């Protein structure tokens, strides 16, 4: 089964084939405050995780989620810029597999779409791994629950 790798330094998420080759790569945005697993740190956790839940099957691109539930609002790129990084389109919820990152699920660390697509490629999230909305749909469709993901510095 393929696995994922997020490089914080490169601001990239790669889908890796069984032989280790990169089959697909996406630009991302990780935490503005850097890396770490401490509760309330707003940092992106390092290490091995797995996708424990997927939320947003067939939701319209730009669907706004709060508490993992659609709000009824659909963000459009023509909407006024909001400072807050919204959780949009799809959610892949991460669960840490290592002692030091076991907090990831309780910290609600996700891979998700964002209204701040202009910031993709720069560290600007509150801990999550953000993708462009079209990219998170593609990733969501390619990765089953249980897919492993390594987040590296």
Give the tens place of pLDDT for each residue, 15-43.
999 999 999 999 999 999 999 999 999 99
Give the residue among 120, 52, 121 at the shortest CA–CA distance from 91.
Answer: 52
Query: Is a pLDDT exceeding 80 seen at residue 70?
Result: yes
Domain ranges, ordered by start, for the chain = 30-147
Pick the CATH number of 30-147 from 3.40.109, 2.30.30, 3.30.200, 2.40.440: 2.40.440
CB 4 within 8 A of CB 17: no
Catalytic residue annotation: 112, 128
Strand-pairing partners, residue 112, are: 91, 130
List all residues 6 or more positions away from 54 whose beta carbon is below 8 Å from its beta carbon: 90, 91, 92, 93, 140, 143, 145
What is the structure's pLDDT at 129? 99
CA 75 vs CA 26, 30, 32, 55: distances in Å: 21, 21, 23, 17
pLDDT tier for residue 147 given thresholds of 50, 70 and 90: very high
In angstroms, the CA 144 to CA 148 distance is: 10
């Amino acid at each position: 089964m393929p696995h994922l790798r997020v490089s914080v330094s490169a601001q990239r998420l790669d889908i890796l084939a069984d032989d280790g080759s990169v089959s697909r790569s996406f630009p991302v945005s990780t935490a503005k405050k850097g890396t770490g697993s401490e509760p309330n740190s707003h940092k992106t956790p390092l290490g091995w995780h797995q996708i424990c839940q997927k939320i947003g099957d067939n939701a319209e691109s730009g669907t706004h989620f709060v508490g993992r539930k659609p709000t009824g609002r659909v963000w459009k790129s023509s909407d006024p810029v909001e400072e807050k990084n919204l959780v949009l389109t799809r959610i892949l919820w991460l669960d840490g597999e290592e002692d030091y990152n076991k907090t990831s699920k309780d910290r609600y660390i996700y891979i998700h779409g964002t209204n701040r697509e202009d910031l993709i490629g720069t560290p600007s999230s509150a801990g999550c791994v953000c993708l462009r909305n079209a990219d998170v749909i593609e990733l969501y469709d390619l990765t089953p629950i249980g897919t492993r993901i390594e987040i590296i510095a």
